[in-house]
Structure formats: C-alpha cells, structure tokens
Amino acid sequence: MKKVLLTGRNGFLGKHICSFLVSTGVEVFSLGRNKYNNIIADLSCSTIFIEEEYDTVIHSAGKAHSVPKTKNQKKEFFDVNVTGTTNLLKGLENIDLPKSFIFISSVSVYGLVTGTSITENYPLLANDPYGKSKIEAERLVWNWCEKNKIICTILRLPLVADSNPPGNLKAMINGIKKGYYFNIADGKARKSMVLAKDIAKIIPVVANIGGIYNLTDGYHPSFSELSQVIAKQLGKSKPLNISMWMANLIAKAGDLVGPKAPINSNKLSKITSDLTFDDSKAQQLLGWKPTSVLKDFKIR
C-alpha cells in the first residue's frame, strides 16, 4: 500500500484511518465535499472524473446511522450510501483500476436488535433505510470488484469508539457528565464495540487479502461497565440504576407520546438486549488482535 484514495477523510473513523496510514509512510489523497480534500466532489450528486491512479481505495464516506423522520431523510441514506458509491465506482473506471478496494460497512446490515455471536454468514435482513442502503452498497462494491478482478474487502463495524466519539456514545458521555444518564436493569446488556485505531491498523493487512469481516474488540462490554469507565474519567460517581419495572412504565408512557419520546417500548427492548458479533474470521485470516475498549477507551 503506497498510494491511497480515501473518502470520508473528515469523518470520525476517516480521521483515524488517514492519520495511521500517513504515519506509516502511505501517501493518502482524500475525496470529499469541503475544500480540505484533494478532490472536491459530492458523490451523492454526480459521477466524478478521477485523473490519478491509486493502488488502494478506501470508501469510508457515508450517511451515519440515525432515525429518519421524513421521506427526504430516508432518501438521503440511498443518495449518499448507494448513489454515492455508484458514482465513485464509475469515476474510478476513468483510470487504471486499483488493486484493492475497501468498503466500510456496518453490522446494521443484519437487521438485528438482539442476538449473540452473529457471524458474517448471517442473512442480511435490515429493513430500515440505513441498513438497506448499506446492503445495496455492499453488493455494488462486491460485484464491481469481482467483475474487475479487484481485491474486495467489506468491514462490518459495530459501535466505533475512540476519543471524542459522535452519535450514541457521545450522548452517553454527555449524559454522564451532566448527571442525567441512568443504567437500566443494572446495565447488563452487552453490545459489540471496536476502537477506531484498531480498524485503521488492520487496513494495510486486509487490503492484500480481501473478504467480508465483522470487527469487534472481542469482549463486548456491558452498559454498566462502559458507563463506569466513562464516569471515572470524568471524575463522576457511578451512574445510578433504574429498575426494569420502572423503565417499563416510562416506556409505556413514551409509546403514548409518540416517536419524539426519549424512550419507548421499542427503544427499551434494544437497550436491554444483548447484541454481539463474532470476529473469529478476522482473527483467523487477518491475525486480528483487537484492544479491549474498556482498557483503552479515552474520551478525550
């Protein structure tokens, strides 16, 4: 890996990937919408013309997991994740094709809210806009690489952690910092997580091998364990706990309020259910040796 084209360079994971590759002497060129990219383009709008050649392309750009409230918001997932991927692949056909293509996907493609040790062989059953758009993008990439004899890698990621994280993890940190975060039913539910820096480190390895892989830290911390690690770093006391019966009452009230409620029965089920993924394939084929999130997660 000598010369790389990276999309999503300014995103949370993209920054870690870029920083690591540059530190190892890789020449990284970025493609994105703002002026800080080498190639300035909005992939969701049109096909682009790529003039330089790259031995590896890492497609990290995409619309992140969120709950769409309108038809336009639902459409955005497909504009960015599907149309954007299509336009990138077409743009690459203007030059000598790369040796390797790495697509950053998500465990959301499985469409699960509960389950343990889910492997890459599990069917892709997502029916939400985010999960469905990632499934379509995966298929586009895989078929294109197969057609053009390019080494194809798809990395299915769970919650990604590292300093200054976005999304649900950021909300959890803010809740603990301000004193309004509570664990439910002792916070026993376990969720798969992985550190961004570990994902970045495996990129040069997987680029020469290819395949579809779940990546996790191998431990799958519980909400209770994770919240205590965060609280300790913030100098806060251990988060309080809400019993399951009380949580059920609050959730039922949320069902009456509607989608805008901070918690309802559907959200409660997700929060209190285990959802973990198996990364033994990556361990066996890539020598994947992840760091425990609980031991190495720093919020700043």
CB-CB neighbours of 233 under 10 Å: 15
Going residue by residue through the chain (300 aa), what tens digit of pLDDT does each one get?
899 999 999 999 999 999 999 999 999 999 998 888 888 888 998 888 888 999 999 999 998 866 667 778 788 889 999 999 999 999 999 889 999 999 999 999 999 999 999 999 999 999 999 999 999 999 999 999 999 999 999 999 999 999 999 988 999 999 999 999 999 999 999 999 999 999 999 999 999 999 999 999 999 999 999 999 999 999 999 999 999 999 999 999 988 987 777 788 888 898 999 999 999 999 999 999 999 999 999 988
pTM: 0.94
The full set of domain ranges for the chain reads 3-162+194-217+276-291
Buried b (16+ CB within 10 A) or exposed e, 94-108: eeebbebbbbbbbbb
CB-CB neighbours of 282 under 10 Å: 24
Q: How far is CA 214 from CA 40, 92, 239, 267, in A?
A: 31, 26, 30, 24
Task: For the domain made up of 3-162+194-217+276-291, give the CATH fold.
Answer: Rossmann fold (3.40.50)
Spatial separation of the C-alpha atoms in residues 82 and 236, rounded to whole Å: 42
Task: Give the length of the chain.
Answer: 300
